Structure formats: structure tokens, C-alpha cells
Amino acid sequence: MVSKQLNSINFFDPVQDLIPLVEERMRQATCDHNPELGLAIDHLLSSGGKRVRPTVALLTGRMLEGDEYHLVTLAAAIEMLHTATLVHDDLIDGALLRRGISTLNARWSPAATVLTGDFMFARAAKLAAEAESVDVMQLFAETLSSIVNGEIAQMFPDDGITNRENYDQRIFAKTASMFELATGAAAMLSPVNEIAIERIRRYGHAIGMAFQIVDDVLDFTGEQATVGKPVASDLRQGLVTLPALYYLEAYPDDPDMAHIRSGTHYEETIMDRLVASIRESGAIQKAMDDAQRYIDQSLEILDEMPDNLERHALEDLANYITDRRL
């Protein structure tokens, strides 16, 4: 559903010619793998979703007249890094969701999953190094560190995580850091100065933050059939996102929220009632307002960029983030 909507939006158009080159570069980078892993990797790469992150990198680079060969390599590195993090995420989520179910074929799979992820991390690093820029490499390594730190923080949640600062850190690590890499590194491969690099990084950061906030809102407002997972799946897994944070701020003494936060076991009816309360409260709108502020920031930054097709596509992309509804 998202995918169809997204593909009909024209912000992919100005770099549509480069996406097959990015996919080719990704395949080349992984073709010498062990045959046993071949199917898994082919599946991971070909099911690769919307290619939003490489598109953002390519749009930024073309907007700033960057070197296209290196931009394609960078875009491949970014998509590979994104895929690698998903692989290890699945293992980590699986380790939680599968608990108690000992019948799963778990003897090989954690090891194979770790190594498949490691393999893709290694290849992502190799691609990033092939962009031949020390600055790109440093930003790439910093981004990888941010992502892993975020996963670690999410694995060891504590009461501290239910505040805005921790939420912001978490969505930066999970989503915005990668968009900042996509825009910043593309600018580093383009003939622009430090100030322009810094600005377009802030654009990437802003759309990334907005993107994750909207995702977290959709987790509450979407219908199960559309989203493909239960409404409020984050909260059901103990993860407090922005709508729940705003609700908690407005109703600090809500007994349902206290019940849910008191432990890992909760009554289903209380959870359903709490989710309904959050959906009906002003928390959803407050979260969307925050997302819109990030989008407004991102559009202001683009105002100072070269006025060309790619800039307009980046504007469309920014606007799409808060416009999408499921």
C-alpha cells in the first residue's frame, strides 16, 4: 500500500535511471559469497523495498552536481548498510518474539543470521570505501555507530527511555542518522563547501526524524489489516513512542498507562482501552505537529539549494512524509 503510493509520487523520477546501476553495484559487491548464503542474500537485495535512502542520496548528489560514479557507489553502500541492520534487527526481534517456542529451527539460524548481517556490513563498508572519500568514510562509520548504539539502547530499555530526549536519540539512531548519511555523504562527493554540506545534512536529519515520527503515529492510527501488524505494536512490545509520550504528559496519572508500564505482562483489555484513549486524545495531533515542524525546517533548508529538478523532488519527498495516510 505504502509502496504503491510512494511509487506513484514523482520524486523518484529524476534519478530513476540510476537505481538499476545501484542495484547492479550491490549485486556485484556480494557476488563472491558462499553459495549457501546466496539465496538469502539475493532475496534480501531483490525484495529491497522502495529504495528511499539511495534515492535521497542520488537526488542530493545530482542537485549538487556530484560525481555520478561515486554517488552510485555511495547509494549502494547506504542501501546495503540499511539491509544489514534489518538482518540483525530480525535476529534481535526474533530472539524476543520466539522465546518459549523451542520448536523453531534455531540451531543454525542465529549464527547464520549473524554472519549474513556481518557479511552485508562488510560489503557496505567496502562500497563506502570505494567512494574514495575520507569524509564519507568517517560519516559512514559514525552512522554505523549511531545505529548500533540505538539498537543497544532499545534492547536495554529502562524508565529513562520514556522521555523525549531518549525518544529523540532513539529515532535519530534508528532512522534519521541514515538519512543524514545519505544527504551529507552525497554532498561530500559534490563540488560544494562545508556550509552546504552541513545544511543538507540537517535536511536529511529533519526528514528522517519526521519520517520516524509519522511511522510511530501510523502504528497507532493505522488499521491492523493495512499495516500488517497489530495496532500499537510498539507499545505492546514495551516501546513507548511519541504519541504515548504525549499522552503520558497529558494524563500522568492514567491508571491504564501505569498498569502497562508496570511490567511485561499486561491485560489485553486494558491495553486495548489505553490504545483507544491515546488515539482519541490530542497526543496524535501533537506528534504530527512535531513531524510537520521538521518538514518545515527541511523545506527552509532546500530554499537555499540550487533551483533544479532534484531540489523540487526533495521538496516533494519532504511533503509526502507528513501527507501520507494509511
Give the footprint of a copy of itself on this chain (CB under 8 A). 32-34, 36-37, 88, 91-92, 95-96, 99, 102, 107-108, 110-112, 114-115, 117-119, 121-123, 125-126, 128-130, 132-134, 137-138, 140-142, 144-145, 147-149, 151-153, 155-156
In the bound state with a copy of itself, the residue whose beta carbon lies nearer, of 124 and 209, is: 124
Residue 99: DSSP 8-state: T
Per-residue cell: 124: 557496505
In the bound state with a copy of itself, the residue whose beta carbon lies nearer, of 150 and 222, is: 150
Least Å distance between CB 126 and a copy of itself?
Answer: 4
Q: Can you tell me which residue has the cell 556550509?
A: 195
In angstroms, the CA 212 to CA 239 distance is: 14
In the bound state with a copy of itself, the residue whose beta carbon lies nearer, of 144 and 231, is: 144
Q: Please, are residues 274 and 256 in contact by the beta-carbon 8 Å criterion?
A: yes
Q: Please, are residues 49 and 78 in contact by the beta-carbon 8 Å criterion?
A: no
Residue 79 Cα to chain centre, angstroms: 11
Q: How far is CA 95 from CA 11, 82, 88, in A?
A: 37, 20, 11
Least Å distance between CB 302 and a copy of itself?
Answer: 29
DSSP for 260-273, written as a single string = HHT-S---HHHHHH
Per-residue cell: 257: 498507562
Least Å distance between CB 136 and a copy of itself?
Answer: 9
Least Å distance between CB 118 and a copy of itself?
Answer: 5
In the bound state with a copy of itself, the residue whose beta carbon lies nearer, of 9 and 148, is: 148
Least Å distance between CB 157 and a copy of itself?
Answer: 10
Least Å distance between CB 264 and a copy of itself?
Answer: 12
Q: Can you tell me which residue has the cell 529502562?
A: 158
In angstroms, the CA 194 to CA 198 distance is: 6
Q: 136: how many CB neighbours lie within 10 A of its CB?
A: 24
Least Å distance between CB 52 and a copy of itself?
Answer: 23
In the bound state with a copy of itself, the residue whose beta carbon lies nearer, of 38 and 191, is: 38
Q: Can you tell me which residue has the cell 498507562?
A: 257
In the bound state with a copy of itself, the residue whose beta carbon lies nearer, of 100 and 228, is: 100
Per-residue cell: 143: 552512522
In the bound state with a copy of itself, the residue whose beta carbon lies nearer, of 128 and 242, is: 128
Q: Which residues contact 126 (CB under 8 A, 6 or more apart)?
A: 29
Residue 27: DSSP 8-state: H
